């Protein structure tokens, strides 16, 4: 519907844009399932249930060496 909403926050160095492309995806395709598995494997390697639980870039970088 082409609406927008400005939400101000204090960090002047950060800009967040959330969009909806309305593109439909086939989520059951092999590549999607493979990507999900890769994310789950990475989270487990880092000691988390999901990647969203990784709290710092340093923690993510340390995972590269595992």
Domain boundaries, the chain: 30-63
Please, are residues 53 and 43 in contact by the beta-carbon 8 Å criterion?
yes
Largest Cα span, the chain: 46
- Helix ranges (H only) for 1-66 are 30-45, 57-63
pLDDT band at 31 (very low <50, low <70, confident <90, very high): confident
As a whole number, the mean pLDDT across the chain is: 85
Over residues 36-56, the pLDDT tens digits come to 899 999 999 999 999 999 988
pTM here? 0.53
Residues with Cβ < 8 Å from 66, sequence gap 6 or more? 45, 46
Q: Indicate whether 57 pLDDT > 90.
A: no
């Amino acid at each position: 519907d082409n609406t927008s909403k400005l939400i101000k926050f204090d960090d002047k160095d950060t800009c967040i844009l959330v969009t909806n492309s309305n593109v439909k995806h086939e989520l059951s395709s092999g590549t999607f399932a493979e990507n999900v598995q890769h994310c789950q494997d990475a989270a487990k390697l880092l000691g988390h249930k999901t990647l969203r639980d990784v709290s710092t870039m340093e923690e993510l970088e340390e995972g590269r060496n595992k």
